[in-house]
Amino acid sequence: MEFTEALQRKLGLKTVTYKYNLNKDQLFLEAIANDRGRVRAGGPDTEAKAYATKLGIKGPLVFYTDHNCTGRPVNDTFAVAWPEVEGEIWWKDNLQKYDPEKYQGLLKRVVHYLNERKATLYVQDVYAGADPIYSVPYRFVGEYATHAMFARNMFPKHVDGVEGVEQKRWTMLNVPSFRCEPQRDGSRSDLAVIIDFRNQICLVAGRADYCGVVKKTIFTVMNFLMPSQGFLSMHCSGNIGSSGDTAIMFGLSGTGKTTLSADPERKLIGDDEAGWTGSGVSNLEDGCYAKLIDLDKQAEPIIAAALSMEGTIIENVPPLWDKPLEQTDPQELDLNDRSITENTRFSYPLTCNPNVADGARGGHPRTIVMLTADAFGVLPPVSILEGKQAMYHFVQGFTAKVAGTEVGLKEPQATFSACFGGPFMSHRPSVYAELLHENMETHKSRCVLLNTGWHGGPAGKVPRISIRDTRALLNAALRGDLHARGMEYEEHPVLHLRMPKHCPGVDSHLLNPRSAWPDKADYDAAAQKLCDMFRQNFDQNGFAGFGIEPVM
Protein backbone atom coordinates (compact mmCIF):
# COMPACT_ATOMS: atom_id res chain seq x y z
CA MET A 1 0.00 0.00 0.00
CA GLU A 2 1.30 3.46 -0.89
CA PHE A 3 2.05 5.56 2.16
CA THR A 4 -0.40 8.27 0.95
CA GLU A 5 -3.23 5.75 0.84
CA ALA A 6 -2.19 4.34 4.22
CA LEU A 7 -2.25 7.80 5.82
CA GLN A 8 -5.63 8.60 4.30
CA ARG A 9 -7.07 5.37 5.72
CA LYS A 10 -5.41 5.69 9.12
CA LEU A 11 -5.80 9.42 9.74
CA GLY A 12 -8.06 10.86 7.05
CA LEU A 13 -5.41 13.11 5.48
CA LYS A 14 -6.63 13.92 1.96
CA THR A 15 -5.55 17.35 0.70
CA VAL A 16 -2.05 17.64 2.15
CA THR A 17 1.28 17.57 0.29
CA TYR A 18 3.94 15.12 1.41
CA LYS A 19 7.71 15.32 1.21
CA TYR A 20 8.64 11.69 1.66
CA ASN A 21 11.93 10.25 2.91
CA LEU A 22 14.03 13.28 1.94
CA ASN A 23 17.75 12.83 2.58
CA LYS A 24 19.60 14.81 5.23
CA ASP A 25 20.77 17.52 2.81
CA GLN A 26 17.25 18.07 1.52
CA LEU A 27 15.84 18.19 5.05
CA PHE A 28 18.57 20.63 6.11
CA LEU A 29 17.57 23.09 3.38
CA GLU A 30 13.84 22.56 3.95
CA ALA A 31 14.20 23.27 7.67
CA ILE A 32 15.97 26.57 7.09
CA ALA A 33 13.50 27.62 4.41
CA ASN A 34 10.25 26.50 6.02
CA ASP A 35 10.38 25.69 9.75
CA ARG A 36 8.60 28.60 11.42
CA GLY A 37 7.12 29.07 14.87
CA ARG A 38 7.44 30.82 18.20
CA VAL A 39 10.90 30.96 19.77
CA ARG A 40 10.84 33.91 22.17
CA ALA A 41 8.37 34.72 24.95
CA GLY A 42 5.72 36.90 23.38
CA GLY A 43 7.22 36.34 19.93
CA PRO A 44 5.28 35.61 16.74
CA ASP A 45 4.64 32.18 15.22
CA THR A 46 6.48 33.23 12.06
CA GLU A 47 10.08 33.28 13.27
CA ALA A 48 12.73 31.03 11.73
CA LYS A 49 13.50 28.06 13.93
CA ALA A 50 16.39 26.45 12.02
CA TYR A 51 19.74 27.92 10.97
CA ALA A 52 22.99 26.95 9.28
CA THR A 53 26.43 27.68 10.71
CA LYS A 54 29.57 28.77 8.88
CA LEU A 55 29.96 25.18 7.67
CA GLY A 56 26.66 25.35 5.82
CA ILE A 57 25.16 22.07 4.68
CA LYS A 58 28.40 20.29 5.60
CA GLY A 59 27.89 21.17 9.26
CA PRO A 60 25.12 21.02 11.86
CA LEU A 61 21.60 22.39 11.73
CA VAL A 62 20.86 24.69 14.70
CA PHE A 63 17.25 24.47 15.92
CA TYR A 64 15.31 26.52 18.49
CA THR A 65 12.20 25.17 20.20
CA ASP A 66 9.32 27.12 21.66
CA HIS A 67 10.62 28.84 24.80
CA ASN A 68 8.06 26.92 26.89
CA CYS A 69 9.11 23.52 25.55
CA THR A 70 12.86 23.11 26.02
CA GLY A 71 12.33 19.67 27.61
CA ARG A 72 9.77 16.90 27.62
CA PRO A 73 6.27 18.27 28.44
CA VAL A 74 5.67 15.62 31.11
CA ASN A 75 2.51 17.24 32.48
CA ASP A 76 0.95 17.12 29.00
CA THR A 77 1.80 13.51 28.11
CA PHE A 78 -1.06 11.01 27.95
CA ALA A 79 -2.24 7.62 26.74
CA VAL A 80 -5.79 6.97 25.56
CA ALA A 81 -7.60 4.97 28.25
CA TRP A 82 -8.99 2.30 25.93
CA PRO A 83 -10.61 -0.54 27.96
CA GLU A 84 -8.19 -3.19 26.63
CA VAL A 85 -5.09 -1.38 27.96
CA GLU A 86 -6.40 0.68 30.86
CA GLY A 87 -5.60 -2.01 33.43
CA GLU A 88 -2.08 -2.65 32.12
CA ILE A 89 -0.67 0.86 31.86
CA TRP A 90 1.19 2.39 34.80
CA TRP A 91 -0.79 5.63 35.16
CA LYS A 92 1.04 8.48 36.86
CA ASP A 93 1.47 12.25 36.76
CA ASN A 94 3.68 12.07 33.66
CA LEU A 95 1.51 9.51 31.81
CA GLN A 96 -2.11 10.36 32.43
CA LYS A 97 -5.37 8.95 31.10
CA TYR A 98 -6.93 10.63 28.09
CA ASP A 99 -10.64 10.20 27.54
CA PRO A 100 -11.20 8.10 24.36
CA GLU A 101 -14.12 10.23 23.14
CA LYS A 102 -12.21 13.49 23.67
CA TYR A 103 -9.17 12.03 21.93
CA GLN A 104 -11.14 10.94 18.85
CA GLY A 105 -12.65 14.41 18.57
CA LEU A 106 -9.22 16.06 18.92
CA LEU A 107 -7.62 13.80 16.30
CA LYS A 108 -10.40 14.61 13.82
CA ARG A 109 -9.95 18.33 14.45
CA VAL A 110 -6.17 18.14 13.92
CA VAL A 111 -6.64 16.24 10.64
CA HIS A 112 -9.37 18.67 9.48
CA TYR A 113 -7.04 21.55 10.33
CA LEU A 114 -4.29 20.10 8.14
CA ASN A 115 -6.65 19.25 5.27
CA GLU A 116 -8.22 22.71 5.34
CA ARG A 117 -4.81 24.41 5.23
CA LYS A 118 -3.56 22.00 2.53
CA ALA A 119 -0.52 21.60 4.70
CA THR A 120 2.89 20.37 3.65
CA LEU A 121 4.04 17.44 5.79
CA TYR A 122 7.41 15.73 6.03
CA VAL A 123 7.35 11.93 6.22
CA GLN A 124 10.18 9.65 7.31
CA ASP A 125 9.83 5.87 7.50
CA VAL A 126 12.20 4.44 10.09
CA TYR A 127 12.25 1.68 12.73
CA ALA A 128 12.35 1.63 16.52
CA GLY A 129 14.78 -1.17 17.33
CA ALA A 130 17.76 -2.72 15.53
CA ASP A 131 16.72 -6.33 16.19
CA PRO A 132 13.97 -7.61 13.85
CA ILE A 133 12.56 -9.85 16.58
CA TYR A 134 10.98 -6.81 18.25
CA SER A 135 11.60 -3.89 15.84
CA VAL A 136 8.59 -1.66 15.16
CA PRO A 137 8.17 0.29 11.89
CA TYR A 138 7.80 3.96 12.84
CA ARG A 139 6.42 6.57 10.44
CA PHE A 140 7.02 10.20 11.35
CA VAL A 141 4.55 12.67 9.79
CA GLY A 142 4.96 16.30 10.76
CA GLU A 143 5.13 19.98 9.89
CA TYR A 144 8.83 20.54 10.69
CA ALA A 145 11.64 19.31 8.48
CA THR A 146 13.90 19.49 11.56
CA HIS A 147 11.80 16.84 13.30
CA ALA A 148 11.93 14.63 10.21
CA MET A 149 15.71 15.08 10.12
CA PHE A 150 15.84 14.20 13.82
CA ALA A 151 13.86 11.00 13.18
CA ARG A 152 16.24 10.13 10.34
CA ASN A 153 19.22 10.73 12.65
CA MET A 154 17.90 8.82 15.61
CA PHE A 155 16.33 5.65 14.20
CA PRO A 156 17.39 2.78 11.92
CA LYS A 157 16.32 3.32 8.33
CA HIS A 158 16.37 -0.37 7.38
CA VAL A 159 15.96 -3.46 9.54
CA ASP A 160 16.03 -6.71 7.61
CA GLY A 161 13.75 -9.51 8.69
CA VAL A 162 10.84 -7.55 10.19
CA GLU A 163 7.64 -9.44 9.41
CA GLY A 164 4.20 -7.87 9.02
CA VAL A 165 5.50 -4.34 8.57
CA GLU A 166 2.16 -2.65 7.90
CA GLN A 167 0.42 -4.43 10.77
CA LYS A 168 3.19 -3.44 13.20
CA ARG A 169 3.62 0.15 12.00
CA TRP A 170 3.20 3.07 14.41
CA THR A 171 2.57 6.59 13.10
CA MET A 172 3.40 9.90 14.76
CA LEU A 173 1.35 12.90 13.61
CA ASN A 174 3.26 15.98 14.82
CA VAL A 175 1.48 19.33 14.35
CA PRO A 176 3.12 22.20 16.30
CA SER A 177 0.96 24.91 14.68
CA PHE A 178 -2.31 23.47 16.09
CA ARG A 179 -3.64 24.84 19.38
CA CYS A 180 -5.58 22.58 21.75
CA GLU A 181 -8.51 24.02 23.71
CA PRO A 182 -8.66 22.23 27.09
CA GLN A 183 -12.40 22.61 27.65
CA ARG A 184 -13.20 21.30 24.19
CA ASP A 185 -10.39 18.80 23.68
CA GLY A 186 -9.84 17.38 27.17
CA SER A 187 -6.20 18.48 27.29
CA ARG A 188 -4.54 20.24 30.22
CA SER A 189 -3.15 23.11 28.13
CA ASP A 190 -2.89 24.20 24.51
CA LEU A 191 -0.62 21.25 23.73
CA ALA A 192 -0.84 17.49 24.19
CA VAL A 193 1.28 14.42 23.46
CA ILE A 194 -1.04 11.41 23.28
CA ILE A 195 -0.32 7.69 22.73
CA ASP A 196 -3.11 5.63 21.17
CA PHE A 197 -2.29 1.93 21.71
CA ARG A 198 -5.42 0.71 19.93
CA ASN A 199 -4.76 2.45 16.63
CA GLN A 200 -0.94 2.67 16.92
CA ILE A 201 -0.84 6.47 16.70
CA CYS A 202 1.25 9.06 18.54
CA LEU A 203 -0.42 12.48 18.31
CA VAL A 204 1.55 15.65 19.07
CA ALA A 205 -0.72 18.68 18.92
CA GLY A 206 0.61 22.09 19.88
CA ARG A 207 3.98 23.66 20.64
CA ALA A 208 5.60 20.45 21.94
CA ASP A 209 8.44 20.91 19.49
CA TYR A 210 11.35 19.73 21.68
CA CYS A 211 13.01 17.13 19.47
CA GLY A 212 13.13 14.60 22.31
CA VAL A 213 9.34 14.18 22.01
CA VAL A 214 9.88 12.45 18.65
CA LYS A 215 11.94 9.70 20.27
CA LYS A 216 10.71 9.44 23.85
CA THR A 217 7.09 8.98 22.77
CA ILE A 218 7.86 5.92 20.67
CA PHE A 219 10.10 4.56 23.43
CA THR A 220 7.15 4.76 25.82
CA VAL A 221 5.37 2.60 23.26
CA MET A 222 8.29 0.15 23.05
CA ASN A 223 8.40 -0.07 26.85
CA PHE A 224 4.81 -1.29 26.69
CA LEU A 225 5.16 -3.70 23.77
CA MET A 226 8.46 -5.45 24.50
CA PRO A 227 7.77 -6.94 27.96
CA SER A 228 4.67 -8.65 26.55
CA GLN A 229 7.08 -10.48 24.22
CA GLY A 230 9.31 -11.45 27.12
CA PHE A 231 11.97 -8.86 26.22
CA LEU A 232 13.42 -6.23 28.55
CA SER A 233 13.32 -2.65 27.28
CA MET A 234 15.85 -0.45 29.05
CA HIS A 235 16.75 3.20 29.48
CA CYS A 236 20.46 2.53 29.19
CA SER A 237 23.55 2.88 27.04
CA GLY A 238 25.75 -0.02 26.06
CA ASN A 239 29.14 -0.92 24.60
CA ILE A 240 31.47 -3.85 24.00
CA GLY A 241 35.10 -4.33 25.05
CA SER A 242 37.93 -5.84 23.04
CA SER A 243 37.31 -9.26 24.59
CA GLY A 244 33.66 -9.18 23.53
CA ASP A 245 32.37 -8.25 26.97
CA THR A 246 29.12 -6.28 26.79
CA ALA A 247 28.23 -3.64 29.38
CA ILE A 248 25.01 -1.69 29.88
CA MET A 249 24.59 1.53 31.85
CA PHE A 250 21.21 2.53 33.26
CA GLY A 251 20.63 6.15 34.11
CA LEU A 252 18.50 9.22 33.75
CA SER A 253 19.42 12.22 31.62
CA GLY A 254 22.57 13.93 32.87
CA THR A 255 24.00 10.95 34.76
CA GLY A 256 26.55 10.03 32.10
CA LYS A 257 24.99 7.40 29.81
CA THR A 258 26.15 9.11 26.64
CA THR A 259 29.49 10.37 27.97
CA LEU A 260 30.58 7.07 29.51
CA SER A 261 29.39 4.86 26.66
CA ALA A 262 31.44 6.91 24.16
CA ASP A 263 34.74 5.16 24.86
CA PRO A 264 37.35 4.89 22.08
CA GLU A 265 38.51 1.58 23.58
CA ARG A 266 35.05 0.00 23.35
CA LYS A 267 32.52 -0.45 20.54
CA LEU A 268 29.33 1.53 21.02
CA ILE A 269 25.95 -0.23 20.95
CA GLY A 270 23.93 2.87 21.81
CA ASP A 271 23.69 5.72 24.28
CA ASP A 272 20.12 5.80 25.59
CA GLU A 273 17.66 2.99 24.80
CA ALA A 274 18.24 -0.74 24.36
CA GLY A 275 16.51 -4.10 24.38
CA TRP A 276 17.67 -7.34 26.01
CA THR A 277 16.43 -10.51 24.31
CA GLY A 278 17.49 -14.14 24.25
CA SER A 279 20.33 -13.28 21.88
CA GLY A 280 21.74 -10.31 23.83
CA VAL A 281 21.53 -6.53 23.82
CA SER A 282 20.61 -4.33 20.85
CA ASN A 283 20.07 -0.63 20.29
CA LEU A 284 16.58 0.77 19.83
CA GLU A 285 18.10 3.75 18.03
CA ASP A 286 20.55 4.67 15.29
CA GLY A 287 21.72 7.94 16.78
CA CYS A 288 22.71 9.77 19.95
CA TYR A 289 20.98 12.65 21.74
CA ALA A 290 23.53 14.16 24.08
CA LYS A 291 23.37 17.02 26.58
CA LEU A 292 25.66 19.88 25.60
CA ILE A 293 25.59 22.15 28.63
CA ASP A 294 29.11 22.62 30.07
CA LEU A 295 30.55 20.03 27.67
CA ASP A 296 34.25 19.44 28.40
CA LYS A 297 35.65 18.95 24.91
CA GLN A 298 38.92 17.45 26.14
CA ALA A 299 37.14 14.92 28.36
CA GLU A 300 34.49 14.16 25.71
CA PRO A 301 36.29 14.38 22.36
CA ILE A 302 33.85 12.18 20.42
CA ILE A 303 30.87 14.40 21.15
CA ALA A 304 32.96 17.52 20.57
CA ALA A 305 34.11 16.31 17.15
CA ALA A 306 30.55 15.44 16.11
CA LEU A 307 29.55 19.11 16.66
CA SER A 308 31.15 19.95 13.32
CA MET A 309 29.82 16.99 11.35
CA GLU A 310 27.10 17.16 8.71
CA GLY A 311 23.65 15.80 9.38
CA THR A 312 23.66 16.72 13.08
CA ILE A 313 21.23 18.95 14.99
CA ILE A 314 22.21 21.39 17.76
CA GLU A 315 19.19 22.30 19.88
CA ASN A 316 18.73 25.50 21.90
CA VAL A 317 22.40 26.56 22.13
CA PRO A 318 22.24 30.40 21.92
CA PRO A 319 24.02 32.24 19.12
CA LEU A 320 27.09 34.29 20.00
CA TRP A 321 26.25 37.86 20.97
CA ASP A 322 28.66 39.36 18.45
CA LYS A 323 28.30 37.06 15.46
CA PRO A 324 25.36 35.66 13.44
CA LEU A 325 25.05 31.87 13.25
CA GLU A 326 25.85 31.76 9.53
CA GLN A 327 29.30 33.19 10.34
CA THR A 328 29.88 30.98 13.41
CA ASP A 329 31.98 27.85 13.42
CA PRO A 330 30.16 25.21 15.55
CA GLN A 331 33.24 24.87 17.74
CA GLU A 332 32.93 28.57 18.65
CA LEU A 333 29.50 28.16 20.25
CA ASP A 334 29.40 28.83 23.98
CA LEU A 335 28.33 25.50 25.43
CA ASN A 336 28.20 27.02 28.92
CA ASP A 337 25.48 29.47 27.89
CA ARG A 338 22.28 28.42 29.66
CA SER A 339 20.31 31.58 28.85
CA ILE A 340 17.76 29.55 26.85
CA THR A 341 17.83 26.35 28.89
CA GLU A 342 20.02 24.01 30.94
CA ASN A 343 18.85 21.28 28.60
CA THR A 344 20.79 22.20 25.46
CA ARG A 345 20.94 19.13 23.22
CA PHE A 346 22.73 17.59 20.28
CA SER A 347 21.45 14.88 17.91
CA TYR A 348 23.90 13.00 15.75
CA PRO A 349 23.91 9.71 13.81
CA LEU A 350 25.53 6.72 15.50
CA THR A 351 28.10 6.71 12.67
CA CYS A 352 29.59 9.95 14.06
CA ASN A 353 31.14 7.69 16.70
CA PRO A 354 34.43 6.20 15.46
CA ASN A 355 33.82 2.73 16.87
CA VAL A 356 30.30 1.31 16.54
CA ALA A 357 29.37 -2.33 17.15
CA ASP A 358 28.21 -4.29 14.10
CA GLY A 359 24.46 -4.00 13.79
CA ALA A 360 24.38 -1.98 17.04
CA ARG A 361 24.17 -5.29 18.91
CA GLY A 362 26.14 -7.14 21.57
CA GLY A 363 26.00 -10.26 23.69
CA HIS A 364 24.51 -10.68 27.14
CA PRO A 365 25.88 -8.05 29.56
CA ARG A 366 28.85 -9.09 31.65
CA THR A 367 28.59 -5.87 33.67
CA ILE A 368 25.51 -3.82 34.58
CA VAL A 369 26.11 -0.26 35.76
CA MET A 370 23.41 1.75 37.50
CA LEU A 371 24.32 5.42 37.16
CA THR A 372 23.21 8.08 39.60
CA ALA A 373 24.18 11.71 40.17
CA ASP A 374 23.75 12.25 43.91
CA ALA A 375 23.15 15.94 44.61
CA PHE A 376 23.52 15.38 48.35
CA GLY A 377 27.11 14.12 48.10
CA VAL A 378 26.21 11.08 50.22
CA LEU A 379 26.45 8.01 47.98
CA PRO A 380 29.85 6.34 47.47
CA PRO A 381 31.43 6.90 44.05
CA VAL A 382 31.03 3.16 43.42
CA SER A 383 29.20 0.36 45.26
CA ILE A 384 28.79 -3.35 44.61
CA LEU A 385 25.20 -4.50 44.11
CA GLU A 386 24.17 -8.13 44.26
CA GLY A 387 20.80 -9.85 43.98
CA LYS A 388 18.19 -8.08 46.06
CA GLN A 389 20.26 -4.88 46.28
CA ALA A 390 20.34 -4.59 42.49
CA MET A 391 16.56 -4.97 42.26
CA TYR A 392 16.05 -2.43 45.06
CA HIS A 393 18.17 0.26 43.42
CA PHE A 394 16.72 -0.51 39.98
CA VAL A 395 13.12 0.10 41.02
CA GLN A 396 14.10 3.14 43.09
CA GLY A 397 16.09 4.79 40.28
CA PHE A 398 17.56 7.55 42.46
CA THR A 399 19.45 10.46 40.94
CA ALA A 400 19.61 14.25 40.92
CA LYS A 401 17.38 15.40 38.11
CA VAL A 402 19.31 18.03 36.17
CA ALA A 403 17.63 21.37 35.60
CA GLY A 404 15.91 21.86 32.25
CA THR A 405 15.42 18.21 31.33
CA GLU A 406 11.73 18.66 32.00
CA VAL A 407 9.58 21.75 31.55
CA GLY A 408 9.32 23.82 34.74
CA LEU A 409 12.38 22.39 36.49
CA LYS A 410 14.73 25.28 37.27
CA GLU A 411 17.17 23.81 39.81
CA PRO A 412 18.74 20.38 40.36
CA GLN A 413 16.76 18.26 42.78
CA ALA A 414 16.82 14.74 44.10
CA THR A 415 14.35 12.42 42.45
CA PHE A 416 13.34 8.78 42.26
CA SER A 417 12.47 7.47 38.82
CA ALA A 418 11.64 3.78 38.67
CA CYS A 419 13.84 1.69 36.41
CA PHE A 420 15.90 4.86 35.74
CA GLY A 421 13.21 6.02 33.32
CA GLY A 422 9.92 6.25 35.19
CA PRO A 423 8.11 8.83 33.00
CA PHE A 424 8.28 6.61 29.93
CA MET A 425 8.01 3.21 31.62
CA SER A 426 4.45 2.33 30.63
CA HIS A 427 4.20 -0.87 32.71
CA ARG A 428 4.53 -1.02 36.48
CA PRO A 429 8.17 -1.18 37.67
CA SER A 430 7.88 -4.79 38.83
CA VAL A 431 7.45 -5.92 35.21
CA TYR A 432 10.90 -4.63 34.26
CA ALA A 433 12.49 -5.64 37.57
CA GLU A 434 11.39 -9.25 37.17
CA LEU A 435 12.81 -9.39 33.64
CA LEU A 436 16.09 -7.82 34.76
CA HIS A 437 16.44 -10.23 37.69
CA GLU A 438 15.75 -13.22 35.44
CA ASN A 439 18.31 -12.09 32.87
CA MET A 440 20.97 -11.30 35.49
CA GLU A 441 20.57 -14.70 37.10
CA THR A 442 20.60 -16.55 33.80
CA HIS A 443 23.67 -14.80 32.40
CA LYS A 444 25.59 -14.24 35.67
CA SER A 445 25.87 -10.48 35.21
CA ARG A 446 27.71 -8.45 37.84
CA CYS A 447 26.34 -5.08 38.93
CA VAL A 448 27.65 -1.79 40.38
CA LEU A 449 26.07 1.49 41.42
CA LEU A 450 28.24 4.29 39.98
CA ASN A 451 27.76 7.79 41.38
CA THR A 452 28.71 10.53 38.88
CA GLY A 453 27.44 13.29 41.19
CA TRP A 454 29.01 15.31 43.98
CA HIS A 455 31.60 14.32 46.58
CA GLY A 456 32.59 15.97 49.85
CA GLY A 457 29.36 17.93 50.29
CA PRO A 458 26.11 18.81 48.53
CA ALA A 459 25.81 20.19 45.00
CA GLY A 460 26.59 23.90 44.85
CA LYS A 461 29.21 23.71 47.58
CA VAL A 462 31.65 21.18 46.12
CA PRO A 463 32.61 20.16 42.58
CA ARG A 464 31.21 17.14 40.81
CA ILE A 465 33.30 13.96 40.75
CA SER A 466 35.75 14.31 37.86
CA ILE A 467 35.15 12.41 34.63
CA ARG A 468 38.69 11.07 34.99
CA ASP A 469 37.89 9.42 38.33
CA THR A 470 34.50 8.21 37.13
CA ARG A 471 36.09 6.58 34.09
CA ALA A 472 38.75 4.93 36.22
CA LEU A 473 36.06 3.48 38.49
CA LEU A 474 34.00 2.39 35.50
CA ASN A 475 36.96 0.74 33.78
CA ALA A 476 37.77 -1.17 36.96
CA ALA A 477 34.17 -2.38 37.13
CA LEU A 478 34.22 -3.45 33.46
CA ARG A 479 37.49 -5.36 33.94
CA GLY A 480 36.00 -7.14 36.93
CA ASP A 481 38.57 -5.65 39.35
CA LEU A 482 35.90 -4.62 41.85
CA HIS A 483 34.54 -8.17 41.98
CA ALA A 484 37.93 -9.89 41.93
CA ARG A 485 38.92 -12.43 44.54
CA GLY A 486 40.81 -10.71 47.32
CA MET A 487 39.07 -7.35 46.90
CA GLU A 488 38.37 -5.83 50.33
CA TYR A 489 35.15 -4.00 51.10
CA GLU A 490 33.59 -1.99 53.87
CA GLU A 491 29.85 -1.62 54.42
CA HIS A 492 28.22 1.78 54.63
CA PRO A 493 26.69 1.91 58.14
CA VAL A 494 23.50 3.68 57.04
CA LEU A 495 22.96 2.78 53.39
CA HIS A 496 24.32 -0.79 53.70
CA LEU A 497 26.22 -0.51 50.43
CA ARG A 498 29.45 -2.45 49.88
CA MET A 499 32.29 -0.08 49.05
CA PRO A 500 35.62 -1.35 47.65
CA LYS A 501 38.60 -0.22 49.70
CA HIS A 502 40.87 0.34 46.72
CA CYS A 503 40.67 0.76 42.96
CA PRO A 504 43.44 1.08 40.34
CA GLY A 505 44.02 4.71 39.32
CA VAL A 506 41.80 6.19 42.04
CA ASP A 507 42.80 7.73 45.37
CA SER A 508 41.45 5.38 48.03
CA HIS A 509 40.19 8.37 50.05
CA LEU A 510 37.62 8.96 47.30
CA LEU A 511 35.96 5.59 47.84
CA ASN A 512 34.38 6.34 51.23
CA PRO A 513 32.24 9.50 50.92
CA ARG A 514 32.23 10.26 54.65
CA SER A 515 35.99 10.79 54.65
CA ALA A 516 35.66 13.68 52.17
CA TRP A 517 33.24 15.74 54.28
CA PRO A 518 34.91 18.33 56.56
CA ASP A 519 32.20 17.87 59.18
CA LYS A 520 31.47 14.18 59.77
CA ALA A 521 28.31 14.95 61.77
CA ASP A 522 26.93 16.86 58.77
CA TYR A 523 27.64 13.85 56.59
CA ASP A 524 25.94 11.46 58.99
CA ALA A 525 22.85 13.66 59.08
CA ALA A 526 22.76 13.91 55.27
CA ALA A 527 23.17 10.13 54.93
CA GLN A 528 20.29 9.47 57.30
CA LYS A 529 18.13 12.00 55.44
CA LEU A 530 18.84 10.26 52.13
CA CYS A 531 18.15 6.84 53.66
CA ASP A 532 14.80 8.11 54.92
CA MET A 533 13.98 9.37 51.41
CA PHE A 534 14.72 5.92 49.97
CA ARG A 535 12.49 4.27 52.58
CA GLN A 536 9.67 6.74 52.02
CA ASN A 537 9.72 6.27 48.25
CA PHE A 538 9.84 2.48 48.68
CA ASP A 539 6.78 2.52 50.92
CA GLN A 540 4.82 5.04 48.83
CA ASN A 541 5.21 2.91 45.71
CA GLY A 542 4.40 -0.36 47.46
CA PHE A 543 7.53 -2.04 46.12
CA ALA A 544 7.44 -4.64 48.88
CA GLY A 545 4.19 -5.92 47.36
CA PHE A 546 6.08 -6.67 44.17
CA GLY A 547 8.57 -8.91 45.98
CA ILE A 548 11.32 -6.29 46.24
CA GLU A 549 13.22 -6.54 49.54
CA PRO A 550 13.86 -3.31 51.50
CA VAL A 551 17.65 -3.39 51.84
CA MET A 552 17.87 0.03 53.53
Q: Which of 49, 102, 215, 216 is catalytic?
A: 216
In this structure, how many other beta carbons lie within 10 angstroms of the beta carbon of residue 226? 24
297 is catalytic: no
Active site residue 258: yes
Specify the DSSP element, H or E, that contains 383. Answer: strand 382-385
- Which member of 24, 49, 72, 427 is catalytic? 72
Residue in 196, 272, 286, 469 annotated catalytic: 272
Contacts of 483 (CB under 8 A, 6+ apart): 384, 446
For residue 397, the tally of other CB atoms under 10 A from its CB is: 23
Residue 388 appears among annotated catalytic residues: no
Question: Of residues 345, 393, 401, 427, which has the active-site annotation?
Answer: 345
**CA atoms within 13 A of residue 177's CA, in its CB half-sphere:** 19
- Alpha-carbon Rg of the chain, whole angstroms? 23
Among the listed residues 38, 49, 257, 393, the single catalytic one is 257
Please, how many CA atoms are within 13 Å of residue 237, restricted to the half-sphere of its CB?
A: 25
Alpha helices in 286-426 (DSSP H): 301-306, 388-396
- In the residue annotation, 345 being an active-site residue is answered as yes
Catalytic one of 235, 267, 291, 446 = 235
- Which residue among 77, 135, 255, 258 is the active-site one? 258
Of the listed 253, 328, 399, 426, which one is catalytic? Answer: 253
DSSP string, 244-302: S-EEEEE--TTSSHHHHH--TTSEEEESS-EEEETTEEEES-SEEEEE-TT--TTT-HH
The 3-state secondary structure of 405-449, one letter per residue: CECCCCCCEEEECHHHCHHHCCCCHHHHHHHHHHHHHHHCCEEEE
Among 447, 297, 462, 421, smallest CA distance to 368 is for 447
CA 71 – CA 213 distance, rounded (Å): 8
Q: Compute CA distances 72 → 173, 219, 449, whole Å.
A: 17, 13, 26
Q: Among candidates 127, 131, 124, which has minimal Cα distance to 161?
A: 131
Strand partners, 499: 490
Rounded to the nearest 5 percent, the helix, strand and coil shares of the chain are 35, 25, 40
Pairwise CA distance, residues 210 & 68, whole Å: 9
216 catalytically annotated: yes
Give catalytic residues, as residue numbers.
Answer: 72, 216, 235, 253, 257-258, 272, 345
